[in-house]
């Protein structure tokens, strides 16, 4: 069970759970005033479930008849296909698409769109993300980036700093100057056009119906609405959508209907990306951003294009790992971590040797990330050197099992060759097609800039840039901020599909996903255990650990010199694994966010 401290640290995680780059602090008290004590606990569930587009079956509900947050069985086995996501409705919508004959990409795009409706605090049509897709027919892995970009008039100087280097007014995190040019709609449309089989109108229609007919308030969603209560009361439309007739957060098991979002999605259904990037909706976004102090223009929206790059690929003990490329650091540093560990002993899971060795390796990788990574379209990054097996050997030699050490960044340039964030979900089918998408509006409820009459928030993705000029990850017009999002697929030593996984969690994404892979390969865990065992993230001297870490293990780590230890949720992964008998197993992180002990994450199959 979570400790009270975990509830407090979850507030700090609020922005980074959906985020993709550098760690973001929780909003200052002045940004989100505390709510009244009457809002401190979810109201009891209504006696009967009201009418919604899609009811959540009892076996997938994270609450009981009294509205109390409860756990449920998340491990799912299926023969034909599975969608693992952090809410039931999007997962079921994805499965329904596959039942109708759609492929894994069709299902993934439908799931992503449904998540923008039912998890508006984490993702949205005004956000962006990454997709990694393994095509079982061609044996190719595709990486598609639809990450947000900086507007053409955005510069580092627009974020005015005080004498201590803090951005005055937190304008890099809230308001118009935190908003990047959205990529979600363009990216999902391109994914469907190039790799799907179904029509856009048929893929998007379930999300329109979900927005119009409604979805249920879960204990987790209740907490996130309560967290942004001041924002919800500041706008009549937001109050209409998220609050009850008394101006209070709608209780668990009540319905949220967003007719404004339904109409926005209908426009996107009928006009495709042009319905979002041009016309009345584009005008409304520009007005909202500029009224909040931002500089985004129609030219920025006109110029946005998603793009493909080769996935970052490596091997680990014969398994092939393919994950996110630039502007994400995720795939690169998953591969670097695994390369180093491949040179070291495999210790039993949850022993002091296991945690100490992993922490030391993570610290070396963290140092390289901070020094080198940025958008490779703007800065030179020695990616081939970072993921070099030879470079990894030099780092592995530095690990001392008797003590902790401080590590500076290495020199991967010597190994360079001439070639060159959030909710997350996974889709896999019987044929071996695997899709992992991680998408986000960055901070929870994004920039807090709401687009009137269209039912969604703008992202605050520019908060993933560092503050100031001259860094690899400094803001520049048209540049993508650094990300840690790591949608990943894994093939077994025979080249057959083995696993797909991904996670939200900001800078903790790639360490979390990497440990899921280690759990599955080195420790032979099933997918549920691989997703739900203790995890750590070591960043320099600081080590974050999630709530399941044993106290005696923490004492032993401190004895080795790991003195900066703190409890902190690491990530919320979902994943799907192929079993030897040809069936699929899927699951999701069971630990909730904010005040919710258990998450809404599910795996739905058929």
Q: Which two tokens stand for residue 87?
A: 């809410």
Q: Report the 3 state secondary structure along 221-266.
A: HHHHHHHCHHHHHCCHHHHHHHECCCCCECCCCCEECCHHHHHHHH
**Whether 129 contacts 146, CB under 8 Å:** yes
Tokens of 489: 């697929």
DSSP category for residue 402: T
Of 410, 408, 362, nearest to 382 (Cα)? 410
- At what angle are helices 104-118 and 184-195 packed, to 10 degrees? 160
Tokens 């709510």 correspond to 35
Backbone torsions φ then ψ of 373, nearest 5 degrees: -80, 140
Q: How many CB atoms lie within 10 A of CB 9?
A: 19
Q: Work out the number of other CB atoms within 10 angstroms of the CB of residue 559.
A: 12
**Region of residue 272 (phi > 0: left; psi between -120 and 50: alpha; otherwise: beta):** left
Which value, in Å, is the radius of gyration of the alpha carbons in the chain? 22
User: Which 8-state DSSP code applies to residue 591?
Assistant: B
Catalytic residues: 422
For residue 9, give both structure tokens. 């640290």
Residue with tokens 């992964």: 573
- Tokens coding 312: 């970052």
Nearest alpha-carbon partner for 208 in 385, 43, 411, 54: 54
Pairing verdict, β 128-135 and 255-256: unpaired
Residue that has been written with the tokens 């999902």 in this structure: 188
Query: Under a CB-based contact definition with an 8 Å cutoff, are residues 359 and 315 in contact?
Result: no
Please, what is the end-to-end C-alpha distance for the chain in angstroms? 32
Task: For tokens 């990037």, name the residue.
Answer: 277
| Cα–Cα distance measured from residue 222 to residue 229, given in angstroms and rounded to the nearest whole number | 10
88, 140, 78, 68: which is closest to 598 by C-alpha?
Answer: 68
Q: Is the dihedral of CA 438, 439, 443, 444 positive or negative?
A: negative
């Amino acid at each position: 069970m979570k400790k009270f401290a975990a509830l407090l640290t979850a507030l700090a995680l609020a922005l980074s759970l959906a985020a993709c780059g550098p760690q973001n602090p929780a909003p200052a008290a002045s940004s989100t005033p505390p709510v009244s004590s009457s809002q401190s606990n979810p109201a009891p569930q209504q006696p009967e479930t009201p009418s919604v587009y899609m009811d959540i079956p009892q076996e997938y509900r994270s609450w009981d008849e009294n509205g109390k947050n409860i756990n449920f069985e998340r491990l799912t086995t299926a023969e034909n296909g599975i969608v693992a996501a952090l809410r039931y409705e999007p997962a079921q919508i994805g499965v329904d698409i596959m039942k109708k004959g759609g492929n894994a990409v069709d299902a993934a795009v439908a799931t992503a769109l449904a998540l923008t409706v039912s998890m508006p605090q984490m993702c949205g049509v005004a956000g962006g993300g990454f997709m990694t897709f393994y095509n079982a027919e061609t044996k190719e892995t595709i990486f598609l980036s639809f990450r947000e970009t900086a507007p053409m008039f955005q510069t580092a100087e627009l974020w005015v700093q005080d004498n201590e280097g803090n951005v005055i007014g937190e304008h890099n995190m809230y308001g118009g100057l935190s908003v990047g040019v959205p990529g979600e709609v363009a990216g999902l449309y391109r994914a469907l056009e190039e790799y799907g089989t179904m029509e856009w109108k048929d893929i998007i229609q379930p999300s329109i119906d979900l927005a119009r007919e409604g979805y249920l308030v879960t204990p987790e969603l209740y907490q996130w609405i309560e967290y942004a209560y001041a924002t919800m009361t500041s706008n009549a439309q937001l109050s209409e959508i998220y609050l009850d007739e008394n101006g209070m957060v709608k209780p668990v098991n009540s319905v949220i209907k967003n007719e404004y979002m339904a109409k926005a999605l209908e426009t996107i259904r009928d006009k495709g990306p042009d319905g979002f990037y041009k016309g009345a909706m584009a005008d409304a976004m520009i007005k909202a951003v500029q009224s909040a102090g931002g500089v985004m223009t129609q030219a920025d929206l006109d110029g946005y294009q998603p793009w493909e790059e080769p996935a970052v690929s490596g091997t680990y003990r014969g398994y092939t790992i393919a994950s996110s490329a630039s502007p994400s650091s995720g795939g690169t540093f998953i591969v670097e971590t695994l390369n180093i560990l491949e040179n070291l002993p495999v210790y039993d899971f949850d022993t002091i040797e296991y945690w100490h060795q992993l922490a030391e390796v993570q610290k070396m990788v963290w140092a390289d990330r901070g020094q080198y990574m940025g958008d490779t379209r703007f800065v030179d990054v020695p990616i081939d050197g970072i993921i070099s097996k030879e470079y990894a050997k030099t780092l592995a030699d530095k690990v001392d099992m008797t003590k902790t050490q401080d590590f500076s960044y290495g020199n991967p340039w010597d190994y360079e060759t001439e070639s060159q964030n959030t909710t997350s979900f996974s889709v896999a089918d019987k044929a071996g097609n695997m899709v992992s998408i991680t998408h986000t509006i960055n901070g929870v409820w994004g920039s807090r800039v709401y687009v009137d009459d269209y039912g969604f928030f703008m992202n605050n993705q520019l908060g993933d840039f560092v503050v100031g000029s001259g860094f690899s990850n400094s803001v520049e017009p048209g540049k993508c901020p650094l990300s840690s999002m790591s949608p990943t697929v894994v093939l077994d030593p025979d080249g057959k599909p083995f696993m797909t996984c991904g996670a939200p969690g900001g800078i903790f994404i790639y360490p979390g996903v990497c440990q899921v892979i280690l759990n599955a390969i080195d420790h032979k865990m099933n997918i549920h255990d691989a997703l739900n065992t203790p995890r750590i993230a070591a960043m320099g001297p600081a080590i974050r650990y999630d709530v399941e870490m044993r106290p005696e293990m923490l004492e032993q780590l401190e004895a080795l010199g790991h003195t900066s230890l703190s409890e902190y949720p690491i990530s919320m992964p979902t994943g799907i694994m192929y079993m030897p008998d040809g069936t699929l197993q899927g699951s999701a992180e069971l630990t909730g966010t904010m005040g919710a002990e258990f998450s809404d994450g599910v795996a739905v199959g058929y």
